[in-house]
Structure 1
Amino acid sequence: MILLGFDVEEFDLPFEYGKSLPFNEQLSISTTGTYSILAMLKSANIKATFFCTANYAINQPDVIARIVSEGHEIASHGYYHSEFKPEHLKQSKLALEQLSGTEVTGFRMARMMPVDEAEIQKAGYTYNSSINPTWIPGRYNNFGKPRTWFYDHDVLQIPASVSPVIRFPLFWLSFHNLPMPLIKSFAAAAYRKDGYLNLYFHPWEFTDLHQPDRFGVPGYVAKNSGDAFVSRIKNFIEWAQTKGWQFARTGDFADGVNEKTLVLK
């Protein structure tokens, strides 16, 4: 089973590189990418999960409505992408539920940063996908975390997928920079070991990031963005489907794990 997750947020990445971008453009870029993703998923006849910030959703309710109408899951990515307070956990959940008309059971912290699991449970989430169980300088140091799902404070943790043993991250940057045969090799090894893949991306990756004066993002981020990235993810999906692997919403996967856990108890 493959879980595709898309972090739908204000496109504030340029701020990390000394650039500014008007809020309406932040929304527009993420929306353009989201529509490309939706078209791609529809063509492949698969469902996915969209981890949305409440700030984006409140300002783009039509996008949220389309995501839901096409059968995808809405989960929380916090209230704002560049600001976090513990109370945002519950506030974002309630805002997204009101806007989407669906129950929001999942959470992913912005930039996959640490978050208090007791607060996640208190806010009413049943699963959290905020761990990248690898080591990346200046970003993650999670070699001590499990590679696959586990429970913390009765909340199901679903880490992002990494390869067995060396824990090479199968995250968005890998899909930009590695040759596709190598990505598929790592993915196949993880799938054989774990029985599933949990992959995450951002809508702005599906737009053209080769605009250094405007965005300032480094070449390894802009590489293979826009139409090239759509082609790469389409290629990966088609490859996985030829192997008979199924795609599922993260919440549905979590429900299955929780049900099996209850039976075992």
Structure 2
Amino acid sequence: MILLSFDIEEFDMPFEYGKTISFEDQLSISTAGTLSILQILKQAGIKATFYTTANYAQHKPEIVMQIVNEGHELASHGYYHSDFKPQHLLQSKEKLEEIAGVPVTGYRMARMMPVDEREIEKAGYVYNSSINPTWLPGRYNNFSKPRTWFYHHNVLQLPSSVSPLIRFPLFWLSFHNLPMSLLKTLSAATHRKDGYLNLYFHPWEFTDLDQPERFNFPGYVVRNTGDAFIKRISDFISWGLAKGYEFARTGDFVQGIKRQLAK
């Protein structure tokens, strides 16, 4: 099983690289990428999960409704992408449910940063996908965390996928910089070991980021963005379908685990 997920947020990443970007541009770039993602998924006939900030949803409710109406899962990515308070956990859940009219049971912390699981449980989430169980300089040091799903404070934890043994991360940057043949080999090995893949991306990756004056992103971020990334992800999905892998929404996968444990 392959769980594709997309973090839909106000595109504030340029601020990390010393560039300013208007809120209107943040929304328009994220929206353009999200529409490309929805088209890819529709063409492939598969469903995915969209972790969305309440801030984005309030400004683009029509995109949120398109996500839901096309059969995808809506989950929470917090209230704002660059501001977090514990009360945002419940507030973002309630706002997304108000806008979309569907239950929101999943959460992912912005930038996959640590979050108090007791607060996650208190806010009423069923699962949390905020762990990248690997080590990246200046970002993650999660070698002590399990590679695959586990329970903590009554919340199912669903780490993003990493390869067996060396824990090589199968995350968005890998999909921009590695040869697709190697990614498929690593993905197949991980799927064979774990029985599923949990992969995450962002809408702005599906737009042209190779604009140094505007964004100032390093080469490893802008490589294979825009149309090249649309082609890469479409090719990966076709490969997964040809291998016989099922693509599913994260919430459905989690419910399957709960049913299995209840037997």
TM-score by length of 1: 0.99
Which residue is 1:183 aligned to? Answer: 183
Q: What's the offset of the Cα at 1:240?
A: 0.6
User: What displacement does 1:259 show?
Assistant: 1.4
AA matched with 1:189: A
> 1:1-265 to 2 correspondence within 5 Å?
1-263=1-263
Q: Which deviations, in whole Å up to 9, do the C-alpha atoms of 1:68-118 show, x marking residues without a partner?
A: 110000000000000000000000000000111100000000000000000
What SS is found at the alignment partner of 2:215? coil
After TM superposition, give the deviation of residue 217 of structure 1 in Å. Answer: 1.0
Give 1:262 deviation, angstroms: 2.0
Q: Deviation string for 1:12-67 (max 9, x for gaps)?
A: 00000000000010000000000000000000000000000000000000000100
Counting matched residue pairs gives 263
- Alpha-carbon distance between aligned partners in 2 of 1:52 and 1:132, rounded to the nearest angstrom: 18
Partners of 2:192 and 2:259 in 1: CA distance: 23
State the shift of 1:261 in Å: 1.4
After TM superposition, the runs of 4+ consecutive aligned structure 1 residues lying more than 3 A away are none
The one-letter amino acid of 1:158's match is: L
Distance across 1 between alignment mates of 2:26 and 2:159: 27
For residues 170 and 213 of structure 1, the distance between their equivalents in structure 2, rounded to whole angstroms, comes to 29
CA distance in structure 2 between the aligned counterparts of 1:64 and 1:227, rounded to whole angstroms:
23
**Which amino acid is the alignment partner of residue 200 of structure 1?**
Y
Query: What letter is aligned with 1:214?
Result: R
Q: Matched residues in 2 for 1:43 and 1:90: separation? A: 34
Deviation at 1:216, TM superposition (A): 1.1
CA distance in 1, matches of 2:32, 2:5: 17
CA distance in 2, matches of 1:65, 1:216: 33
* Percent identity (aligned): 70
Q: Which amino acid aligns with 1:256?
A: G
AA partner of residue 6 (structure 1)? F
Structure 1 vs Structure 2 CA RMSD: 0.4
DSSP-derived class of the 2:65 partner: helix
- In 1, Cα distance between the equivalents of 2:37 and 2:136? 27
Alignment partners' CA distance in 2, 1:217 and 1:78: 24
What secondary structure, in the 3-state scheme, does the structure 2 residue paired with 1:248 have? Answer: coil
Distance in 1 between the 2:98 and 2:255 partners?
22
Q: SS of the residue aligned with 1:259? A: helix
- Helix, strand or coil at the partner of 1:57: helix
Query: Over residues 179-215 of structure 1, what are the superposed CA-to-partner deviations in whole Å (9 max), with x where a residue is unaligned?
Result: 0001001100000000000000000000000111111
